[in-house]
Amino acid sequence: MRRIVPCAYFAVALAVIFAGCGPDASRITGRVLDNGQPVAVPGSGAPQSVVFESVSADGATATGRMYSAALGADGTFELVAAGGSVPPGSYRVSFDVTLPGNDGEKFKRFRGPGSPLRRELKPGSNDLTIDLAKPEG
């Protein structure tokens, strides 16, 4: 005998799939400046990106939450995570940028886990301005 799955089960399955897409999710767009001026991030053959890594209240890295967004040539970015959103919370912001000369030096202190940049992501849309000359926000 064949059983037909009621529509209620289908609705529950869809709700579980889209659970991260509700009002508690965050969307991130932004731009990178240096002393108030837009930063040019010319293509160098290597991907240039900004990385958001979840941190706990004591500043330790929280496991499993790391998101990356490509940096445009004009220093803008848009984070598109699975489902287009990330959980709200505290994040360390670092850069994976490889550029020659002074352009590369601007990003050096903001690489990896030693980056001093921190941002609090709120539910909904977040439009971030990250000024390399004023990392505290």
What's the pLDDT score for residue 102?
74
86 assigned to some structural domain: yes
Provide the residue count of the chain: 137
pLDDT at 5 over 50: no
Q: Which structural domain, as residue segments, surrounds residue 52? A: 21-131
* Total Cβ atoms within 10 A of residue 109: 14
Span 14-31, average pLDDT:
58
Give residue-wise pLDDT tens across range 33-90: 999 999 888 776 677 899 999 998 776 666 668 899 999 989 999 987 776 678 888 9
CATH number for 121:
2.60.40.1120
32 assigned to some structural domain: yes
Query: What DSSP state is assigned to residue 44?
Result: -
**pTM of the entire structure?**
0.74
Using CA atoms of 124, 86, 122, 127 in order, give the dihedral in degrees to the nearest 10.
-70
Q: Which two tokens stand for residue 56?
A: 């706990």
67 assigned to some structural domain: yes
Span 15-23, average pLDDT:
39
Q: How confident is the model at residue 2 (pLDDT cuts 50, 70, 90)?
A: very low
Q: How many domains is the chain built from?
A: 1
Pairing of strands 26-34, 124-131: parallel
75 assigned to some structural domain: yes
Q: Which two tokens stand for residue 3?
A: 């059983």
